[in-house]
Structure 1
């Protein structure tokens, strides 16, 4: 194991499986509400932007700005999560998001919004989100037994999809059609209630330091060294970053694809997202079953292939129903990918290093998203939205082949997760 540490696993009162079940339920409840707020916002933000401008570069730039904080702050926020109580970090982050998006709702009511104001708000929300999401991921191994990691990750993916897409998407578009400020005010309420629900997760969730307190710089270096010394994690991070860039080429333009290429209205755009949410739910529930029936390597590569085929087909589809079903297939496949990668991270990374390693991972992976969004906007300006979906699909198919061959030497680790990290 690369790197040493002066920390050990957090001391938390266990009280049997029933206590852990209750903790998971509170975490799932909080995640459901915060993801509902996210889902409303992720539809309302591009719709508000599209009501201000139809410039594809500015629309894609808004998506890039939302993810830019992961490139700038993910590593630092990951180190922060390893120094503080993770539940408290989530609580404060959700309250902060409630204030930020609530303020935006008031500005929309006052008709005082510009595209640049949306950029600023997206940047602020993204910065706080790096803390909230890193802390939530770090909490998972503390609230579920080790043999239930894949199931717990599937449940978290389910509530994320239900909140963000299945409910949040349609609710965001419908409330935006009523009046533009309404989805942002609902978004704020969702974050506030999510913060309150975290109070139900009792226990300590801060890694206990057994030696001298290390500086932030030293702790960051420790996380980077561990990741660099684990060949499998490095390869998975590279694949995830490439996948994020390739998919975001097209996803950043989804609102323009829906409104201009398949001619949906602003209200029905949420229904389009609803089909994607349904696909995501299917993916979340089938991922654990697929990994029990087949090797994780096979399921991972097969899912990436499905993602690529879906976007390639969307590039030529003219029927809204067909396009929606294809997007649902993409959502199902990408959720399976996320469940597998999330479970491997939880199994491979030691708890006391998890926040820092996850921060480095997300700096690379989520930092690729704004790059993909901006490239997608530029390509759409020159070639059109449909061409961008085709390019994205082909890139994902090429990535699937690369993943299959690159993981050939790690089949035992991937399929058994036997190298699971412990301090």
Structure 2
């Protein structure tokens, strides 16, 4: 029996890889079809830039709560770039950020510019994050997840660029500059209240977050899901937003056969799809499931937002540095096995809906067909980071030692990247075999 299972899994891998090749070569005999942009094109990354930050009086950044006045300079690929630095120097404030990541040696930071500006080709804004990616020795897991958000057509996914950081003239290593998650025209665009808006039309941005560390928060009435409200809502608007979430949660509670047409046409029937934009929910679920993100729906970093008068969206994606086999608890290092659908009450209840299951398979096939391109992107990104990662690991010599919560040590950057690709390939093949052979989900 053991050898039969091994042979069966080998066949799955063989035909899975064959399926990759088939899906990447559509019939173009009519001359009308054209290939979509490749993932490398969609998520093209320039060579890491240089960011220099000088705090006032060289005060060290030691707090997540207190901002320090500073000057920031954005340069090209090297510090010897002869471009006029004065044109790329402006005022900012800087403080620490993150939760478990703030306790690590290489610190992540939050920037608050004096005025909105574009950064390294990303749209203008005042608030930015500098991710350290200390626990992720490839420094690519966040980039991969955010790239997949774009590939899968999510409404908004944080933009990002890599840059080497100098703080008060001391080299800090390779960082990932990224959009801060907040509402705004070029961020999470929820629009604004319209004259025709009535109670119940409220727009908002929230995070499912067990820390409850925002001023406004509540627990969902049905599942006790912890929601923190991002941005400022009036007390009345906060009540409206909580009421919307409670109605949405109520829509997940179904009896057997609740999705039959007779029941759905009943005037008192509440359907979660009346409150959730289904494709955003499916895409968000699949990317988190594929990456086996330990925090998704469980601790924090699960965002939802609702544009005024519209349905709830799941997203944007955030916080994947210990995803994709990079945590040593809850069997996260194993590329097999469901995770997100086991931990999320929303996904568990939605799985009783045939339409949700159909959309999972449809969207998974889109993602699965592009896995080879994803590996090309990873190779390209790793090559682009090659010189910078060497300097980073000279500053932080951790490739040969344990950093929480790494399950394994691979000793070189190239082997870390190879392990990540191998894990993702096994994960993709396992999910594909489950969705292909298990018609009842």
Q: Same fold by TM-score, threshold 0.5 exceeded?
A: no
By relative contact order (CA 8 Å, sep 6+), the higher-ranking structure is 1
TM range (shorter): under 0.3
Output the TM-score relative to the length of structure 2: 0.26
Greater helix proportion: 1
Greater strand proportion: 2
Output the TM-score relative to the length of structure 1: 0.27
